[in-house]
Amino acid sequence: MNKKAFPFILGLIAILMIALAGCASGSEDDGASGSDDSDNESGSDVEEKTINFMHLWPEGSSRQHHLIVNDIIAEYEEANPGITVETEILGNEQYKEKLKVLSSSNELPDVGMTWAAGFLDPYVGGDMFAPLDDIIENDHSDSFVPGTAEAYAIDGTTYGLPLELNITPVMYNKAIFEEHGVEIPETFEELKAAVQTFVDNDVIPITLGNKDSWTGSMWYMYLADRIGGAETLTNAINRSGSFEDPALVEAAAKVQELVDMGGFVKGYNGLANDEAKGYFINEQAAMYLMATWDLPQWTTDENNPQEFRDNVGYFKFPTVDGKGDKNSYVGGPGVGLFVAEDSPVKDEAKDFVSFFVEKWGEQAVSNAGVIPATKVDTENVELPDMYIDVLNDLNEASNITLYADVQMSASVAQVHLNMIQALFGGEVSPEEFAKEQEDALAAEEE
Amino acid sequence: MTKSNSSLKTKNKSYNNSLGNRIGLGLLYLVLGAVALFQIYPLVWLFFFSLKTNAEVFGTSPFALPKDPQWGNYLKAWVDGGVGAYFFNSVWVTVTAVILTVLFASFVTFAITRMDWKLNKLVLGLFMVGLMVPIHSALIPLFSFFLDLNLIDHPLSIILTYTAYNLPITIMILLGFYYTLPREVEEAAVMDGCSVHRIFFQITLPMTMPVISTTAIINMIYNWNEFVFVNTFISSDKYKTLTVGIQNFIGQYLTDWGAIGATLMISIIPVLIAFFILSNRIVDGIAAGSVKG
Amino acid sequence: MKQVMSNKLIIAMYTLPALILILALVYVPIVMTGYYGLMEWDGIGAKTFIGLENYIGLMQDAKFWDSAYHSFLLAAFSTLSLVGYLVISLVLANKLKGSELLRKIYLIPMLLSSVAIAQLWLKIYDPNNGMLNSLLEIFGVENTPTWLADPKLVLISIFIAIIWQYAGFYIIIYSAALKGIPESLVEAARIDGANPIQIAYKVKLPLIAGVIKVTIVLAIVGSLKYFDLIYVMTGGGPNGASEVLASYMYKEAFASYNFGYGSAVGFALLVICLIITWLVRKLTASNEEIQY
Neighbours of C19 (CB within 10 A): 18
C-alpha pair distances (Å), A408 with each of A119, A128, A239, A288, A430: 9, 20, 11, 25, 20
A422 and A283 belong to one structural domain: yes
Contact A16 B253 (CB under 8 A): no
B228 within domain boundaries? yes
Q: Which residue of C has its CA nearest to A282?
A: C129
Contacts of B221 (CB under 8 A, 6+ apart): B271, B275, C110, C111
C-alpha span between A82 and A106 (Å, rounded) = 26
Q: Return the closest-CA partner of residue B197 out of C17, C4, A12.
A: C4
Total tally of structural domains belonging to chain A: 2
Confidence of residue B17 (pLDDT cuts 50, 70, 90): low
C-alpha span between B290 and A6 (Å, rounded) = 18
Rg (CA), chain B: 24
A75 and A99 belong to one structural domain: yes
Q: Could you tell me the CATH number of the domain that includes residue B135?
A: 1.10.3720.10
Mean pLDDT of A198-216: 94
Greater confidence (A367 vs C219) lies with C219
What pLDDT score was predicted for residue A209?
94
What pLDDT score was predicted for residue A268?
94
- Write out the residue range of the structural domain in which residue B176 sits: 84-290
What one-character DSSP code corresponds to residue A129? B
What would the DSSP string read from start to end of A160-198? -EE--EEE-PEEEEHHHHHHTTPPPPSBHHHHHHHHHHH
Check: CB of residue C161 under 8 Å from CB of residue C229: yes
Confidence of residue C104 (pLDDT cuts 50, 70, 90): confident
Q: What b-and-e string marks burial along A419-434, b requiring 16 or more CB atoms within 10 Å of the CB? A: bbbbbbbebbebeebb
In chain A, the percentage of residues whose pLDDT exceeds 90 is 66
Confidence of residue A36 (pLDDT cuts 50, 70, 90): very low
Confidence of residue A15 (pLDDT cuts 50, 70, 90): low
Give the closest of B232, B236, B246 to A33, CB-based: B236
C-alpha span between B192 and B190 (Å, rounded) = 5
A295 Ramachandran zone, left/alpha/beta (phi>0; psi -120 to 50)? alpha
Total tally of structural domains belonging to chain B: 1
Cis check for the bond before C238: say yes or no (omega within 30 of 0).
yes
Greater confidence (B16 vs A262) lies with A262
Cite the beta strand spans of A195-315 per DSSP E.
Answer: 204-206, 285-289, 312-315
What is the pLDDT of chain B when averaged over all its residues?
A: 83
* pLDDT single digits (tens) C230-262: 998 998 989 999 999 999 999 999 888 899 999
C-alpha pair distances (Å), B87 with each of A139, A197, B190, C117: 44, 53, 45, 21
Q: Could you tell me the CATH number of the domain that includes residue A156?
A: 3.40.190.10
What would the DSSP string read from start to end of B227-270? -HHHHHH--SGGG--HHHHHHTTB-SS-B-HHHHHHHHHHHHHH
What pLDDT score was predicted for residue B283?
58
Does the pLDDT of residue A86 top 90, yes or no?
yes
| Chain A CB within 8 Å of residue C147 CB | yes
Q: Which chains would you list as touching C if contact means 3+ CB atom pairs under 8 Å?
A: A, B
Q: Return the closest-CA partner of residue B166 out of B96, B233, B118.
A: B96
B15 within domain boundaries? no
H or E, element range at A114: strand A111-114
C-alpha span between A256 and A261 (Å, rounded) = 8
A117 within domain boundaries? yes
Q: Sort out which chain B residues have CB atoms less than 8 A from A61's CB and list them.
A: 248-252, 254-256, 259
A37 within domain boundaries? no
Q: Return the closest-CA partner of residue C201 out of C74, C292, C90.
A: C90
Does the pLDDT of residue A1 top 60, yes or no?
no
What pLDDT score was predicted for residue C195?
85
* pLDDT single digits (tens) C180-214: 788 888 888 888 888 888 888 888 898 888 889 88
What pLDDT score was predicted for residue B284?
52
B59 within domain boundaries? no
Q: Where are the alpha helices (DSSP H) in chain C?
A: 2-5, 8-22, 28-36, 53-59, 62-93, 99-111, 114-125, 131-138, 154-179, 183-191, 196-198, 205-207, 209-224, 228-233, 245-250, 259-285
Mean pLDDT of A142-168: 91
Helix (H, G, I), strand (E, B) or coil at B149: coil
Contacts of B148 (CB under 8 A, 6+ apart): none
* pLDDT single digits (tens) A235-265: 999 999 999 999 999 999 999 999 999 999 9
| A11 CB-side CA count, 13 A | 8
What pLDDT score was predicted for residue B7?
38
A324 and A339 belong to one structural domain: no
Strand partners, B259: none
What pLDDT score was predicted for residue B8?
39
A244 and A361 belong to one structural domain: no
Q: Which ipTM value was assigned to this complex?
A: 0.89
What is the pLDDT of chain C when averaged over all its residues?
A: 88
**Sign (positive or negative) of CA dihedral B260, B262, B265, B266:** negative
Mean pLDDT of C129-152: 89
Give the closest of C146, C235, C256 to A267, CB-based: C146
* pLDDT single digits (tens) C144-188: 999 999 999 999 999 999 999 999 899 989 988 888 788 888 888
Distance (Å) from the alpha carbon of A228 to chain C's nearest alpha carbon:
26
C-alpha span between A87 and A70 (Å, rounded) = 9
A228 and A106 belong to one structural domain: no
What one-character DSSP code corresponds to residue C253? I
Mean pLDDT of A430-443: 95
Q: Sort out which chain B residues have CB atoms less than 8 A from A108's CB and list them.
A: none
Q: Which amino acid is at B175?
A: L
A346 within domain boundaries? yes
A25 within domain boundaries? no
* pLDDT single digits (tens) B62-119: 777 888 888 888 988 888 777 888 888 999 999 999 999 999 999 999 999 988 888 8
Contact A267 C237 (CB under 8 A): no
What pLDDT score was predicted for residue C147?
92
Q: Sort out which chain A residues have CB atoms less than 8 A from C150's CB and list them.
A: 270
Q: Sort out which chain C residues have CB atoms less than 8 A from A268's CB and list them.
A: 149
Mean pLDDT of A68-81: 94
Helix (H, G, I), strand (E, B) or coil at C1: coil
C-alpha span between B38 and B18 (Å, rounded) = 31
Q: Return the closest-CA partner of residue C222 out of C21, C77, C120, C62.
A: C77
Cα A218 to chain centroid distance, Å, stands at 13
Contacts of A331 (CB under 8 A, 6+ apart): A165, A166, A167, A168, A291, A292, A400, A401, A402, A403
What pLDDT score was predicted for residue A76?
95
What would the DSSP string read from start to end of B30-86? HHHHHHHHHHHHHHHHHHHHTT--HHHHTTS-TTSPPSS--THHHHHHHHTT-HHHH
Mean pLDDT of A213-226: 95
What pLDDT score was predicted for residue A22?
47
User: What are the respective helix, strand and coil percentages of chain B, to the nearest 5?
Assistant: 75, 0, 25
Contacts of B26 (CB under 8 A, 6+ apart): none
What is the pLDDT of chain A when averaged over all its residues?
A: 87
H or E, element range at A49: strand A49-55
Q: Return the closest-CA partner of residue C288 out of C218, C221, C211, C197.
A: C211
Helix (H, G, I), strand (E, B) or coil at B291: coil
Q: Where are the domains of chain C?
A: 63-285
**A and B: number of Cβ contacts within 8 A:** 157
A residues 329..358 contacting C (CB < 8 A): none
Q: Which amino acid is at A255?
A: V
Contacts of C158 (CB under 8 A, 6+ apart): C121, C148, C229, C230, C233, C234, C242
Most confident of B113-127, C37-51, C70-84: C70-84
A302 and A427 belong to one structural domain: yes
Greater confidence (A17 vs C61) lies with C61
Mean pLDDT of C259-266: 93
Q: Return the closest-CA partner of residue C41 out of B137, A434, B104.
A: B137
H or E, element range at A87: strand A83-89
C-alpha span between B265 and B43 (Å, rounded) = 8
Q: Sort out which chain C residues have CB atoms less than 8 A from B112's CB and list them.
A: 15
- Write out the residue range of the structural domain in which residue A221 sits: 168-331+400-445
Mean pLDDT of B123-128: 90
Cα C278 to chain centroid distance, Å, stands at 16
What pLDDT score was predicted for residue C162?
94
C-alpha span between C100 and C275 (Å, rounded) = 39
C-alpha span between C18 and B104 (Å, rounded) = 6
Does the pLDDT of residue A35 top 50, yes or no?
no
Check: CB of residue A211 under 8 Å from CB of residue C125: no
B196 within domain boundaries? yes
Give the least confident one: A7-16, B137-146, C91-100. Answer: A7-16
C-alpha pair distances (Å), A443 with each of A12, A232, A239, A303, C206: 59, 19, 11, 47, 57
| Chain A CB within 8 Å of residue C103 CB | no
Going by their DSSP bridges, the two strands A83-89 and A328-333 should be labelled as unpaired
What pLDDT score was predicted for residue B14?
44
What pLDDT score was predicted for residue A174?
95
Q: Sort out which chain C residues have CB atoms less than 8 A from A123's CB and list them.
A: 44
What pLDDT score was predicted for residue B293?
30
| Chain C CB within 8 Å of residue A134 CB | no
Does the pLDDT of residue A271 top 50, yes or no?
yes
C-alpha span between A242 and A233 (Å, rounded) = 8
What pLDDT score was predicted for residue C59?
93
C-alpha span between C262 and C41 (Å, rounded) = 10
Contact B231 A94 (CB under 8 A): yes
Confidence of residue A300 (pLDDT cuts 50, 70, 90): confident
C-alpha span between A99 and A112 (Å, rounded) = 9
* pLDDT single digits (tens) B168-199: 999 999 988 888 777 888 888 888 888 888 88
Check: CB of residue A317 under 8 Å from CB of residue A169: yes
In chain B, the percentage of residues whose pLDDT exceeds 90 is 25
Q: Which residue of C has its CA nearest to A269?
A: C149
Q: Which residue of A has its CA nearest to C122?
A: A271
**Sign (positive or negative) of CA dihedral B145, B149, B153, B157:** negative
* pLDDT single digits (tens) B224-262: 999 889 988 998 888 889 888 788 888 888 888 888 899
pTM metric for this prediction = 0.88
What would the DSSP string read from start to end of A400-420? EEE-HHHHS-HHHHHHHHHHH
**A and C: number of Cβ contacts within 8 A:** 99
Check: CB of residue C253 under 8 Å from CB of residue B108: no
CATH number of C63-285: 1.10.3720.10
Q: Sort out which chain C residues have CB atoms less than 8 A from B136's CB and list them.
A: 227, 246, 249-250, 253-254, 266
Distance (Å) from the alpha carbon of A152 to chain B's nearest alpha carbon:
19
C-alpha pair distances (Å), A358 with each of A46, A78, A140, A337: 26, 16, 8, 12
